């Protein structure tokens, strides 16, 4: 059952690879023609050498003029063969790296349209491994396939034809022994595919672990988890060693096996040819030519066996890439989806059910009405669904049941790009890209003037620290902000939103990494920014949301209390308990 499944997978993967090569069919045809030319010139040379040997057989019978003419021909055909082989390699490189480029492009394009549920539920390192490592391994196997497969097959056919023109009996000996080599190579190749697939999967697991450790090195060191991580890495590394050793060991038996069979072919040709030569059936030069052909005939079997081994590895890696490419994308925008322009910010959440995992319920029958310009604070214990509501508002996830409407239009009928551009987000987790601070600030509004950018930075209290940097707004930072503090990175994210000023705002612990003094200043800037804009504020520090028009208190995915700060305190319910717990004296 397992072998049939792998066989089907190999066939499907091979079909997909051939589909990608269609775009380069001219180069494939040209490569095949050049391979034929290379082989023809290469195979013609032994005939010339055999003729030259016949010119020197016998005492005093050396024909120097004839030998000189043959040597000139040999040199010419060697040069022509080398040129044809060079051009063939150029074509093969064009095909291979063009195909891999197309596959990587399609894989990255799929990454851009995959639902966040896939990204959240799969290891980032494994995704990187598929797109980088597996693609590189596939390229190596494909290049070897094109380089050696064409020439190998044509060499086998060519040598058979040439040998038949010299002596049919000796050729028959070669043809009888040859299938043993093919059967041996095929037997081993079929059993190494799943080993290479396991090797590729384990490599992806290792890449994922390394990626996670690099991204969380501070946490590892803070909790002294180095020894545990080393132990876990050693376990994965040992698993990779075992799977790699099995794959490489069994695949490496192909070459010695085919070499042994090839030696039998050469021996058979030598003995049979010698007996025929003794009875004047062929000349010594023809026998020499035949032995040369026997070598050239068997050599491709060694190469093809190596190619088959590499192709098994390449197909196993390609299968992982195509598996990623074939993942279902997020539900596309409807054909008649509308653009949300100049949103007023009236939001209705009606009878919404949602859970990340079907078996584990989270939000059930959620209803909420937010009018334009209102400030809505969402509070509650960790895991109650606060950030989930943000994910649903931005349509990072679609609701399982019910609807969310913006300005009386279901967000499923609004294009994602226009919906998301109508929100400004500042999260606890900072989003900065590699580049200058200027490029990071202008991300949401590329056409902003210098003065507008500076005013936004001043409003977020980022201007002063930016000016202290070596190159000011042109200071180059890495993806995670480099040497900037967490608070400084968050100020940049706040400045970016203040520059865009979209009609709706989402502030999820937006000031969590900022000192209290600066936070008080930013709160006043936020208050000004939120005037006339529908705003959602997720906060754990309840002192920051006293002025909210509406506070939603969530627990276990449900809104259990709703009202203004003073009203909720008077009710002396769950919100009052949360609020008072933050100011209790220890």
Dump pLDDT digits (tens) for 233-262. 888 888 888 888 887 777 777 667 777 777
Dihedral of CA atoms 563, 568, 574, 576 in degrees, nearest 10, equals: 140
Cβ atoms of 479 and 435 closer than 8 Å? no
Q: Which of 462-471, 491-500, 502-511 shows the lowest mean pLDDT across its residues? A: 502-511
Cβ atoms of 399 and 392 closer than 8 Å? yes
Q: pLDDT-based confidence at 133, cuts 50/70/90?
A: confident
Say if residue 469's pLDDT is above 70.
yes
At residue 58, the pLDDT reads 58
Compute CA 323 distance to the chain's CA centroid, rounded to the nearest angstrom: 11
At residue 83, the pLDDT reads 92
Q: pLDDT-based confidence at 6, cuts 50/70/90?
A: low
Q: Which of 38-47, 109-118, 151-160, 276-285 shows the lowest mean pLDDT across its residues? A: 276-285
pLDDT average, residue stretch 49-76? 75
Select the more confidently predicted residue: 322 or 357: 322
Cβ atoms of 538 and 509 closer than 8 Å? yes
Helix (H, G, I), strand (E, B) or coil at 540: coil
Say if residue 2's pLDDT is above 60.
no
What sign for the dihedral angle of Cα 554, 559, 564, 569? negative
CA distance 302 to 181: 9
Select the more confidently predicted residue: 543 or 419: 419
pTM strictly above 0.75:
no
Record: fold of 372-391+422-581? Rossmann fold (3.40.50)
Please report the DSSP string for 411-463 in residue order. GGGB-HHHHHHTEEEEESS----SEEHHHHHTTS-TT--HHHHHHHHHHTT-H
Q: pLDDT-based confidence at 384, cuts 50/70/90?
A: confident
Select the more confidently predicted residue: 412 or 63: 412
Q: pLDDT-based confidence at 138, cuts 50/70/90?
A: confident
What is the CATH number that goes with domain 2-24+88-325? 1.20.1560.10
pLDDT average, residue stretch 379-389? 81
Helix (H, G, I), strand (E, B) or coil at 186: helix
At residue 190, the pLDDT reads 67
At residue 585, the pLDDT reads 46
pLDDT tens, position by position, 532-564: 888 888 876 666 677 788 888 888 778 888 888
Q: pLDDT-based confidence at 586, cuts 50/70/90?
A: very low
Cβ atoms of 523 and 530 closer than 8 Å? no
By percentage, how much of the chain surpasses pLDDT 90? Answer: 2
Please report the DSSP string for 49-116 in residue order. HHHHHHTT-STT---HHHHHHHHHHHHHHHHHHHHHHHHHHHHHHHHHHHHHHHHHHHHHHHHHHS-H
pLDDT average, residue stretch 304-322? 76
Cβ atoms of 202 and 123 closer than 8 Å? no
Name all contacts of 215-220 with Cβ < 8 Å and 24+ positions apart: none
Domain ranges of the chain: 2-24+88-325, 372-391+422-581
Two structure tokens written together for 576: 């009052």
At residue 304, the pLDDT reads 67
Say if residue 59's pLDDT is above 50.
yes
DSSP secondary structure letter of residue 357 = B
Q: pLDDT-based confidence at 451, cuts 50/70/90?
A: very high
Using CB atoms within 10 Å of the CB of residue 289, give its burial: 0 to 12 exposed, 13 to 18 middle, 19+ buried: buried
pLDDT tens, position by position, 144-195: 777 777 777 787 787 777 777 777 777 777 777 766 766 766 676 666 767 7
């Amino acid at each position: 059952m397992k072998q049939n499944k792998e066989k089907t997978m190999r066939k499907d993967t091979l079909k997909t690879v051939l589909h990608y090569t269609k775009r380069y069919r001219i180069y494939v045809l040209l490569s095949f023609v050049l391979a034929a030319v290379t082989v023809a010139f290469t195979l013609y040379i032994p005939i010339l050498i055999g003729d030259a040997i016949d010119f020197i057989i016998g005492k005093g019978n050396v024909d120097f003029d004839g030998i000189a003419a043959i040597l000139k021909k040999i040199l010419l055909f060697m040069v022509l063969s080398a040129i044809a082989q060079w051009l063939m390699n150029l074509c093969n490189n064009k095909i291979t790296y063009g195909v891999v480029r197309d596959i990587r492009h399609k894989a990255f394009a799929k990454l851009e349209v995959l639902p966040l549920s896939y990204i959240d539920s799969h290891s980032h390192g494994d995704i990187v491994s598929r797109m980088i490592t597996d693609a590189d391994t596939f390229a190596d196997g494909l290049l070897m396939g094109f380089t050696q497969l064409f020439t190998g097959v044509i060499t086998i056919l060519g040598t058979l034809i040439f040998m038949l023109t010299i002596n049919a009996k000796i050729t028959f000996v070669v043809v009888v022994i040859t299938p043993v080599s093919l059967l041996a190579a095929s037997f081993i190749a079929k059993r190494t595919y799943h080993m290479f697939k396991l090797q590729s999967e384990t490599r992806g697991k290792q890449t994922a672990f390394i990626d996670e450790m690099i991204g969380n090195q501070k946490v590892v060191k803070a909790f002294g988890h180095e020894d545990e991580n080393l132990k876990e890495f050693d376990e994965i590394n040992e698993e990779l060693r075992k799977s790699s050793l099995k794959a490489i060991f069994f695949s490496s038996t192909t070459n010695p096996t085919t070499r042994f069979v090839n030696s039998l072919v050469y021996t058979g040709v030598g003995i049979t040819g010698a007996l025929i030569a003794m009875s004047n059936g062929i000349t010594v030069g023809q026998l020499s030519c035949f032995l040369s052909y026997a070598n050239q005939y068997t050599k491709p079997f060694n190469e093809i066996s190596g190619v088959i081994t590499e192709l098994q590895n390449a197909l196993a890696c390609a299968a992982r890439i195509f598996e990623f490419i074939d993942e279902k994308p997020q539900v596309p925008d409807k054909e008649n989806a509308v653009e949300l322009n100049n949103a007023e910010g009236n939001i209705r959440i009606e009878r919404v059910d949602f859970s990340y995992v079907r078996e584990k319920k989270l939000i059930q029958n959620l209803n909420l009405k937010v009018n334009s310009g209102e400030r809505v604070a969402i509070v509650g214990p960790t895991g109650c669904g606060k950030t989930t509501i943000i994910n649903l508002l931005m349509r990072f996830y679609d609701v399982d049941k019910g609807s969310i409407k913006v300005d009386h239009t279901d967000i499923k009928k609004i294009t994602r790009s226009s919906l998301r551009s109508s929100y400004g987000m500042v999260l606890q987790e900072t989003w900065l890209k590699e580049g200058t601070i200027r490029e990071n600030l202008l991300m949401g509004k590329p056409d902003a003037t210098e003065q507008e950018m500076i005013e936004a930075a001043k409003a977020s209290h980022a201007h002063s620290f930016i000016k202290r940097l070596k190159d000011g707004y042109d200071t180059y930072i890495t993806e995670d902000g480099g040497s900037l503090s967490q608070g400084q990175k968050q100020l940049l994210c706040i400045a970016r939103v203040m520059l865009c000023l979209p009609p709706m705002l989402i502030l999820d612990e937006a000031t969590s990494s900022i000192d209290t003094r600066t936070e008080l200043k930013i709160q006043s800037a936020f208050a000004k920014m939120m005037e006339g804009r529908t705003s959602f504020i997720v906060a754990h520090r309840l002192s920051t949301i006293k002025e909210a028009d509406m506070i939603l208190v969530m627990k276990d995915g449900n809104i259990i209390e709703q009202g203004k700060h003073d009203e909720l305190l008077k009710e002396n319910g769950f919100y009052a308990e949360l609020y008072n717990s933050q100011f209790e004296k220890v």
